[in-house]
A = this chain, B = another copy of it.
Amino acid sequence: MFHNRMPRYEILSADAMETLDRGWRKLMTEIGVEFMDERALELFRQAGQKVVDNTVFLDPEFVLAQVAKAPREFDVQARNPANSIHIGGDSMAFGAVYGPPFVRQGDVRRDATMSDFRNFTKLAQSFEVMDSAGGVICEPNDTPLDSRHLDMTYALQTLTDKVYMGNVVSGVNAADTIAMSSILFGGRDNIVKTPASIQLINCNSPLRWDDRMLESQFEYSTAGQPVVLTPFILMGAMSPVTIPAALVQQIVEALSGVALSQLINPGCPVIFGSFLSNIDMQSGSPTFGTPESGIGLLCTGQIARHFGLPFRTGGGLTSSQVPDAQAGYEALMTMMPTFLAGANWVMHSAGWLEGGLVAGYEKFIVDIEILQMMHAEFTPLEIDEASMAFGAHEEVGHGGHFLGAMHTMERFRTCFYRPLLSSSDNYEKWMRTGGVDTAHRAEKIYQKKLEEYVAPPLDDAIRLELEEYVVRRRAELGD
């Protein structure tokens, strides 16, 4: 996995942080947060918090005391130990797009299927920069609704040997994921000791945690599996239009979720989540890769560090309908700040298209290229006498060229990042090889990767046990 040893780009002054600090305390105390789950309300009541109907008016000091119980950093194990990840500190881990009901392949946009789900899972397995296929890479619309979480989890567990995300549609689904992880990792004790999945718990922003998400949170936090408490904010719709207001709301929502997890199971791992962009105020459409989301992202990193929590944000987001120039610059408009902020857990790192409604095959490859470039760019430069290559100048002299210099010959294979997708062919060569744009080259790359895909080895007994679980539970669920 990637360790970001470059400086963080922090844009909030101490004064600004103090203002935000006053802001979240006031909002939390006076407006409070709704929890649509009686167990949650009872835990807050027992902890001495004021509860009126479904609203909890939280004491900021109490919340900070809960936050302090959460680990600052933790591990998540993959079934291939080489792919286990660390969450927090300078670690950055990347998962694929999460949630799209549609896919795009070239000019075709259509409903996503289980076959697409498997394809994207294989692609995530095929690229080293991806630490995880994520969770719901796309909605497998051709599988039964009540049991598709079993199919998805089984695919993530068997087609990759990387970390995966747990299903959160309901408490039942969460329990199934935990049961399947227990099978894969040799028993529940093993995943309680070191968690085996990460789960996205979205807030119904503003200031409301819904029942199904909370059910899942109870299951996962009880089992010690990390939850990403994520305000889902499109500024102008789910928060006020001003960025500071969105930041304040984000703190209140994320910390209230963190507090609940710590009441459920003190010391259980949590991640400060952020999904922060804005809407187009003329059309109401969500927009991504915007200047406002970039600013929000940079602030979020600084805020999460302020509270001592690992954090999730960023990705390769775009509003674009196709993998074109806009998709390229918007994805990087999100991914560059993601690295500048040093986000620890990065969802939607590959494949996100059309505001997250579409998982794009070609876009997946575009994002892999961006991610690989970011890895290279955020690797600290080594500056020493040898790297200054005085000898090469002695060899080459004024106005010469370094192509054949000894210093070059010794380093030419590894000295620069080698693109996967980008072309620097001159015009004649580019025309000879078809004159195709980036999206068309990306098509060839993903097709080749799928052809070359080899499933990571898995013990037959475990595979059988997982299969039996899926069959049995599908029957019990009536699908």
Contacts and interface: CB of A to CB of B under 8 A. Distances in A.
B416 A241 contact: yes
Interface stretch (A3-11, A133-141, A343-351): A3-11
A1 interface: no
A11 B291 contact: no
A327 interface: yes
Contact of A16 (B248, B294, B381, B398): B381
Contacts of A235: 415-416
Nearest to A7: B11
Interface stretch (A85-93, A259-267, A369-377): A369-377
Instruction: Name, among A280, A288, A291, A435, the residue most crowded by chain B CB atoms within 10 Å (CB to CB).
Output: A291
B325 A402 contact: no
Contact of A243 (B374, B381, B427): B381
Nearest to A316: B329
A239 interface: yes
B416 A236 contact: yes
Contact of A389 (B55, B242, B389, B405): B242
Interface in A278-319: 278, 280-292, 294-295, 299, 319
Contacts of A190: none
When all copies of this chain in the complex are counted, the total is: 2
Given A327-B328, A411-B242, A437 B393 contact: no
A269 interface: no
A478 interface: no
Nearest to A281: B412
Contacts of A412: 236, 241, 281
23 contacts: A9-B9, A12-B381, A55-B398, A235-B415, A236-B402, A240-B407, A241-B402, A242-B415, A244-B381, A244-B389, A286-B424, A288-B424, A291-B373, A292-B376, A294-B377, A319-B424, A320-B423, A321-B435, A324-B324, A325-B327, A325-B328, A328-B328, A328-B332
